Amino acid sequence: MTTLTDPPKETFRLSMLLYDTRYRSATIQVIAMFAFMLLAAWLINNTIINLNNLGKEVTFGFLGETAGYDINQRLLDYNSQDSHIRAALMGLLNTLVVAVLGCITATIIGVFVGVMRLSSNWLIARIMTVYVETFRNVPVLLWIVLAMAILIESLPAPRAFRGEDATASMNLFDSVAITNRGVYIPEPLFSRSLGDIHLLGEHALRFDVSMDLMAILIVLALSIFGMRKVSAKANATQAATGDRPKTWHIQLGLLFVPMIVLLVALGFHLGYPELKGFNFKGGTYMRNSLIALWLALSLYTAAFIAEIVRAGILAISQGQTEAASALGLRPGRTMRLVILPQALRVIIPPMISNYLNLTKNSSLAIAVGYMDITGTLGGITMNQTGRELECVLMLMLVYLAISLSISGVMNWYNNSVKLVER
Amino acid sequence: MKKSVFMGALTLAGLAAGAAAAGTLDDVKARGKLNCGVTTGLVGFAAPNANGEWEGFDVAVCRAVAAAVLGDSTAVEFVPTTGKTRFTALASGEIDMLARNTTWTFSRDVDLKFEFTGVNYYDGQGFMVPKELGVSSAKELDGATVCIQTGTTTELNLADFFRANNISYEPVPIETNAEAQQQYLAGACDVYTTDASGLAATRATFDDPAAHVLLPEIISKEPLGPLVRHGDHEWGDVVRWSLNALIAAEELGITSANIGEMAAGTNNPEINRLLGTEGTLGEMLGLDAGWAKNAIMVGGNYGEVFAKNIGEDTPIGLARGLNAQWTNGGLLYAPPFR
């Protein structure tokens, strides 16, 4: 005979929270959560009390007040009578400009150096090693300051271009002026311009859209659409008949003919820089603060990217190359079709953090007087209005937003190139 | 995202934590040291000398306050600040007072919650250009590249001046005087603008000062003076009256040479009150009776400090001008010690 006993009834004692492994982790998490919230509450409370003692309250009204200062590099129209928020917008655009330029250049240099470092040519591989080790082991601020100092001290001042016995002259058929204030390059001008559309009227976030640029972009998009059609048709013909029709002349024609027609219609010409008064006038002016920052950030970040690229390529086993060769693929195709698609999986995630680093490092811009958002909102505005807390919080939100956007885009790209695992 | 905001709040709270509580005078006495904010280096106003000791016109104010409060003019920790960092340093309590040729303006006084304790130098914003440019007036500077220290009133004055005269310019913002000097001398900017006294001080350090001219236009009023945090009136009084003691000493004829003699007692009751042989002025401030005597003994009266650091016999060579005593047609006027 068997005796059936009921399973012991679940009883719950308080001590089980600590001694029972089923509950312990939850207990610890709850306690940690409380401690964390207490700490946060204490800090926030402390901030509020101290701000009250100083007689300051947290408001954002100062953003609408007149900024009163000028900004040298402005991508939209701005003058000293505009509001602080518009000044911050100018700074934000400057940050984005240097971040985008920097990311592109750093990627190009980084990939090049990374591949070269794996070269079987002893000298090239060693030179690239030296480059990587020098740049990534010295703080980026020093590179920025050094780049600026070199630009200022080694290039001629605009006044050296003046007079009969000028000690400096313009380059490339008098179209480019390289001075210690920056580089002046020819700018595209349109004599029959379509004009601009002013959006948002007098609002702080107002901006103009150039209709010329829109027209060019639309024509370019149409051309590319046409080229894809032609290429799809060629593919279809090839699939059906085995012969691929020659399309390159049609492709080139589709790309260039409509663009040239449009440019002629708009009266496209170049505006050259010219020495007038104290400075060069006309042309596009790239200030040396931008160049120094851009150069230093790209070279610095490229050293990291080079290592990532090298690691990515080395991560693919030699067998893959050998297998590809066995199938008769040439080295170029092996790289493009076999190695890189697999290497990208390793390369892209760390690449994202380097793009983020570059963007955040651009806040060192003030070292060379580049007016990024740290220089406008976090610098002059903060100083003139005395709203440290508000300005720093806004700055943090801005950088957070930029970084999350970059991550978002890169993650999307990562998903689109990663190997589909079955 | 929440985490970042939190971390920021944490940083700021950490900064703000130092600012709490009044009673700077007690803090300084307890610490035995005065934390005084100065420039990162402007010869004549505040710069370390060859021995690493800070000296200059603003430094003298710090030393006078330290002598008045602690009886020791060397008990000062000099904290170099830039135009951008100075107000945060003062508001957060990192420094007890700021003597960094800072312009007294309405918004700094009222909105930034600081208290200017007087004016130790009446200045105005000027322009310096290389002589070879052949510029004789600031109104000829259309299109010029102008080096400017960022985070200062000069930035706003400059924008106003060029706007009012309807001429254009290219601002090059710069953090410190040293960087401005580098860019200006290399020709990366045509013009350097800041307070006229600062220009004179900067020019004095050039290899060839004669190759640079100060333009005649003075485009603003820049009353420079020491400042403290709002709301701590006892401490504000100490700084204010230490400065006034130096100014009054000049007016009353007290110098570093004769102060020993005068401290023994004179026929002039105001001198006696100032030097502590009569009345209880020191006690009212919460200091020793000899507070003003200590302050004056550091470097002499206002006139002596001026002459030694930035006066006509120094390389900087500034005339007294507006900074003469009111009895000599200047603006310096210390309220009575009574």
Chain A CB contacts of B166 below 8 Å? none
Residue A1 is predicted with a pLDDT of 57
Q: What is the mean pLDDT of chain A?
A: 88
Of B4, B19, B173, the CB nearest to A50: B19
What value does the mean pLDDT take over residues B175-192?
88
SS3 call for B128: strand
Q: How far is B138 from chain A (nearest CA, A)?
A: 13
Q: How far is residue A66's CA from residue A69's CA, in Å, rounded to a whole number? A: 9
* Residue A392 to residue B8, Cβ atoms within 8 A: yes
Of A46, A50, A181, the CB nearest to B188: A181
pLDDT digits (tens, 9 = 90+) for A373-389: 999 998 889 888 888 88
* Residue B5 to residue A46, Cβ atoms within 8 A: no
Q: How far is CA A40 from the centre of its chain?
A: 33
Residue B153 is predicted with a pLDDT of 82
pLDDT digits (tens, 9 = 90+) for A250-297: 889 988 998 999 989 888 888 888 888 888 888 888 999 999 999 999
Q: Could you write out the three-class secondary structure of chain A?
A: CCCCCCCCCCCCCCCHHHHCHHHHHHHHHHHHHHHHHHHHHHHHHHHHHHHHHCCCCCCCHHHHCECCCCCCCCCCCCCCCCEHHHHHHHHHHHHHHHHHHHHHHHHHHHHHHHHHHCCCCHHHHHHHHHHHHHHHCCCHHHHHHHHHHHHHHHCCCHHHHCCCCCCCCCECCCCEEEECCEEEECEEEECCCCCEEEECCCCCCCEEEEHHHHHHHHHHHHHHHHHHHHHHHHHHHHHHHCCCCCCHHHHHHHHHHHHHHHHHHHCEEEECCEEECCEEECCEEEEHHHHHHHHHHHHHHHHHHHHHHHHHHHCCCHHHHHHHHHCCCCHHHHHHHHHHHHHHHHHHHHHHHHHHHHHHHHHHHHHHCCCCHHHHHHHHHHHHHCCHHHHHHHHHHHHHHHHHHHHHHHHHHHHHHCCCCC
Chain A CB contacts of B172 below 8 Å? 72, 289, 369
pLDDT digits (tens, 9 = 90+) for B217-241: 899 999 999 999 988 899 999 999 9
Check whether B289 has a pLDDT greater than 60. Answer: yes
- The residues in A 92-111 lying below 8 A from B, measured between CB atoms, are none
- Mutate which: B15, B86, B172, vs A, most A CBs within 10 A: B172
A68 in contact with B, Cβ within 8 Å: yes
Q: How far is CA B278 from the centre of its chain?
A: 31
Two tokens at B316?
A: 């900087």
* Residue A43 to residue B158, Cβ atoms within 8 A: no
pLDDT digits (tens, 9 = 90+) for A276-288: 888 888 888 899 9
Chain B CB contacts of A81 below 8 Å? 163
A258: Cβ contacts below 8 Å, ≥ 6 apart: A219, A222, A223
Q: Which amino acid is at A329?
A: L
Q: What are the CA-CA distances from residue A258 to residues A229, A253, B275, B314 (Å)? A: 16, 8, 90, 72
Q: How far is residue A279's CA from residue B190's CA, in Å, rounded to a whole number? A: 9
Say which residue, B2 or B152, is predicted with more confidence: B152
| Total length of chain A | 422
- The residues in B 134-163 lying below 8 A from A, measured between CB atoms, are 141-145, 150-151, 155-156, 158-160, 162-163
The confidence band for A422, taking pLDDT boundaries of 50, 70 and 90, is: low
Chain B CB contacts of A278 below 8 Å? 133, 141, 143-145, 190
Residue B198 is predicted with a pLDDT of 87
| Total length of chain B | 338
* Residue A379 to residue B156, Cβ atoms within 8 A: no
A199 phi/psi in degrees, rounded to 5: -105, 150
Domains of chain B: 16-122+224-328 (3.40.190.10), 125-220 (3.40.190.10)
Q: How far is residue B8's CA from residue B31's CA, in Å, rounded to a whole number? A: 30
